[in-house]
Structure 1
Amino acid sequence: MSYETTIDDNGNTIVKDATLTPQADADARRRRLIILAVLAAVVLALVAYFLLRKKEEPAAVNQAPAVTVITPGRTTVEGVITATGSLAARREMPVGVVGEGGRVVSVPVDAGDWVRAGQVLAVIDRSVQNEQARSTSAQIDVARADAELAQANLDRALKLVDRGFISRADVDRLTATRDAANARVLVARAQYAELIERNNRLNIIAPESGLVLTRAVEPGAVVGAGSAALFTIAKGGEMEMLAQLSESDLASLRTGVTAQVVPVGTDKAFSGQIWQLAPVINDQTRQGTARIALSYASELRPGGFATATINSGSVEAPMLPESAILSDDDGSYVYIVGPENKAVRRRVTLGIVTDSGIAIASGLNGSEQVVQRAGGFLTEGETLRPVKARRPN
């Protein structure tokens, strides 16, 4: 820089800036522009950095996988056990020949008929037995006549004994004769009654009221005491289902529990109750039998197949859909959303299985956010973006 020196009127020296040259002035302006440009660039870089950082933060959040979660809460679950089995008469009574048997002359009932106690199911020819009964009846008359004659002889002897015409020994003999004659009357009557009872047993009769299930005899057949059962009757028409259950299911039931039975071939359900639980388990199938009592219905045919839905009680527990539950060699587990939206693997114990889901016996209290589906693609500790599942309308 150059300076200009002058002296004023008082003799003082004055120093002034000399006028800059055009080249120096241009350089100065250029330097100022460069400095301003650098400052502007720094400011723009800072602004861009903060703007980009704000955009990257939600982008990082959006990159976390979205998962549908549900909060199960606690629900009262009605336990249901499904079992299969066959239908049968609850009290099946085989009816056969009681007496000596013979030729069947008529069968007035057929399978499917209702009968009452004492009703004749089949009639057996008794022509010979009837003649024997008439002979025995005549023997009663003979014995009675002999007894009357013996009594008359004794009465006459008693009148003569005081006159000395008859000895006391003769009276005793006549008395014994009279007693023997009376005894023969009783024997004849007993023989006749026995024969009548035998004849009555020739007919096949119903021991109890009920429904005739089978008929295995036709007129003309010859039957005897060794013959197989001629009829099968369901006492009172009562039926039952023999439901086959596993050991664990059988242990959770008790008598009196209600059940719904649906026979194969129909959609109609019949209400019943368990009246007996098998005291033993089949060592081959490892199953036991629950006997479900049923009232008569034409759709319930013994020997048929049926499905039973048995109420096994109620529990209060979280309920999850099947899609939320995973399993491995260690058992069942679910994924829940933990702190900082991290995936947490939780071991669970399964309970009652229903049409609406599976009850969780242990492992959850119901307040957790459980991953509803796609848990098999998650890893523990992974950041998640939970989305609440929509409730069904």
Structure 2
Amino acid sequence: MLLASPACKSEYPASGQQKVPGAGGGGEARPVKVAHVEQMPVGASVNVTGTLAAQDVATLSIKVPGRLSTVTVDLGSVVRRGQTVAQVEQQDYKLRVQQAEAALQQARARLGLQPQGDDDTFDPEVTGTVRQARAVLEEARQNRERVRALVESGVVARAEYEAADASFKVAQGKYQDAVEEIRNRQALLAQRRTELSLARQALADTVVVAPFDGLVQEKRASVGEYLGAAAPVVTIVRVNPLRFRGEVPERDAATVRAGQPVRVTVEGDRGLYSGRIVRLSPTINQENRVLVVEAEIANPGGLRPGGFARAEIVTNSGDVAVTVPANAVVTFAGIEKVITVENGKAKEKPITTGRRAETWTEILSGINVGEAVVLDPGNLQSGQPVNVVE
């Protein structure tokens, strides 16, 4: 394990502080169990404190004004993404949709399209208005050409050609007007289509839905209230994963990187929660000389945002340390020792310890790899005969 915790220590006096039967080399040998000092991969880590925060916090607001008709959640309610949490009265918005649909059908009919349908594409030349204007224009053109031939033959006066030409130009203008009219109707159709989309969107906006899985942190409106646009209804939080925000001392900042494993514990909870560093501040805080880091922590249940937490950031998972079992360490008057066996007798050795876990303690100096240390030495003292048992 890499989680740092106080090692199990035996609080008994050192040699010379208490006399027991068999001390000093005489008496019956005491049976003891031993373990050997060994090297083991324990990993390097940095311990930090910090605060748990929700991954996301969202205050859900109603997008359109209206009287609140439904609120389906309350404080602490579990919500799922896409779930309806509130709704305002819809009758007015449904009527607006019907009105927009009728206006759209009318605009389609004026263009010769079926009232129902989503395809608004058409050829302006096939509309009745344009066809009629084009027929008049074609007739005027043919009449002008006929009169021109008669004028050139000397059959009719030139004044008749000028009259026919004027009629042609009038028909040409009416044709252009007809095309422009159809274009205006086409633009009106597009406008009516947009108005219908807006009416339908307003109807959809009468419903408030959850944007993610989470819990209701606060209910901010009640059924029967008239709410304006953007009025808050509920606040929800995403609690899985949680966000851990901690401060790494400047001396350890260089060893911390994004992606490193993190193990989090909180007061009153025996669980160990795992995650990874996801964000680091680009600068060291000049006031307290710390690096702010954030980690995402899996939270299947139990942890609450806002709580105080301790975290162990594993900076080197392959680090090797000299260790002994935690129950081999004896502490008296602030001095840490282990008891070894030499020539059938107990012998105390002062040690310097480093990192600790529930089952092991790191030895920095005082004893070598391979030496045997007594487990649970209790009141065993130097010089006391011992008998190593399995």
TM over 0.5: yes
- 2:275 is matched with 273
Cα deviation, 1:344-381, whole Å, max 9, x if unaligned, reads 998x7642123456423356544789999xxxxxxxxx
- Please give the secondary structure, in 1, of the residue aligned with 2:94: helix
In structure 1, give the amino acid aligned to 2:128.
A
Contact 1:83 1:307 in 2 (8 A): yes
Q: Which residue is 1:238 aligned to?
A: 240
Q: Of 149, 156, 180, which residue of structure 1 is paired with 2:132? A: 156
Judging changes above 3 Å, is the alpha-carbon distance between structure 1 residues 225 and 365 closer, same or farther for their aligned structure 2 residues?
A: farther
Measure the CA separation in 2 of the matches of 1:243 and 1:161.
79
Equivalent position amino acid for 1:153 in 2: T
CA distance in 1, matches of 2:209, 2:69: 14
**1:193 positional shift:** 0.9
Distance 2:306 2:388 in 1: 46
Work out the CA distance in 1 between the residues paired with 2:353 and 2:272.
30
Q: Name the residue aligned to 1:105.
A: 69
Residues 125, 271 of structure 1: CA spacing in aligned structure 2 closer, same or farther, 3 A cutoff? same
**Deviation of the 1:200 alpha carbon:** 1.4
Q: CA deviation at 1:122?
A: 1.0
Counterpart of 2:203 in structure 1 is: 199
Contact 1:240 1:292 in 2 (8 A): yes
Where does 1:259-270 land on structure 2 (aligned, <5 Å)? 259=263, 261=265, 264=268, 266-267=269-270, 269-270=271-272
Contact 1:250–1:290 (CA<8 Å) still a contact in 2?
Answer: no
Q: Which residue of 1 aligns with 2:224?
A: 220
Distance apart, 1:157 and its partner CA: 2.8
- Are 1:116 and 2:119 an aligned pair? no
- Secondary structure of residue in 1 paired with 2:111: helix
> How far apart in 2 are the matches of 1:370 and 1:184?
93
Q: Which runs of 5+ in 2 are unaligned?
A: 1-23, 26-33, 114-123, 141-166, 342-346, 376-380
Between the aligned partners of 1:355 and 1:206, the Cα distance in structure 2 is: 43
**Helix, strand or coil for the counterpart of 1:230?**
strand
Please, what is the CA RMSD of the aligned residues? 4.9
Residue segments in structure 1 that go unaligned for 5+ positions in a row: 1-60, 63-69, 338-342, 373-383
Give the CA deviation at 1:120.
2.0
2:330·2:338 contact (CA, 8 Å) conserved in 1? Answer: no
CA drift at 1:124: 1.6
- The 3 A distance-change label for structure 1 pair 270 and 241 is farther
Which whole-Å deviations, capped at 9, do the CAs of 1:87-141 have from their partners, x for residues lacking one? 443x324042262343221012343324233x32210224333333333333223
How far apart in 1 are the matches of 2:233 and 2:216? 12
Percent identity of paired positions between Structure 1 and Structure 2: 18
3-state SS in 1 of match to 2:304: coil
Contact 1:327 1:333 survives alignment (8 Å): no
> Structure 1, residues 240-285: CA drift from partner, whole Å, max 9, x if none?
3627465267765663526364662x54x25522243643666449
Q: Does 1:78 align with 2:42?
A: yes
In structure 1, distance between residues paired with 2:51 and 2:387: 43
CA contact (8 A) 2:329 2:337 kept: no
Could you tell me how far apart the structure 1 residues matched to 2:197 and 2:374 are? 86
Q: Distance in 2 between matches of 1:153 and 1:357?
A: 95
Change (3 A) 1:385 1:363: closer
In 1: Cα distance, 2:179 partner to 2:64 partner:
41
Matched position secondary structure for 1:96: strand
TM-score of the pair, normalised by structure 1: 0.58
Q: For residue 67 of structure 1, what is the aligned residue in structure 2?
A: none
Larger radius of gyration between Structure 1 and Structure 2? 1
Q: Identify which of 255, 261, 274 aligns with 1:257.
A: 261
TM, length-normalised to structure 2 = 0.58
* Structure 1 pair 168–287 and aligned structure 2 pair: CA distance change class (3 A): closer
1:359 match: 362
- Shift in Å, 1:387: 5.0
Question: How far 1:311 sits from its partner (Å)?
Answer: 6.1
- Secondary structure in 2 aligned to 1:92? strand
Cα distance in 2 for partners of 1:306, 1:241 equals: 11
Moved more, 188-197 or 309-318: 309-318
Contact 1:94–1:233 (Cα < 8 Å) also in 2: yes
Q: What are the Cα deviations for residues 324-355 of structure 1, in whole angstroms up to 9, with x where unaligned?
A: 69879xxx999999xxxxx9998x76421234
1:144 aligns with 2:108: yes
Q: Which residue of 1 aligns with 2:320?
A: 315
Is the CA contact 2:39–2:369 (under 8 Å) kept in the aligned structure 1? no
Give the secondary structure class of the aligned counterpart of 2:276: strand
Q: Does the 8 A contact of 2:260 with 2:314 survive in 1? A: no
Cα 1:290–1:324, aligned 2, differ >3 Å: closer, same or farther?
farther
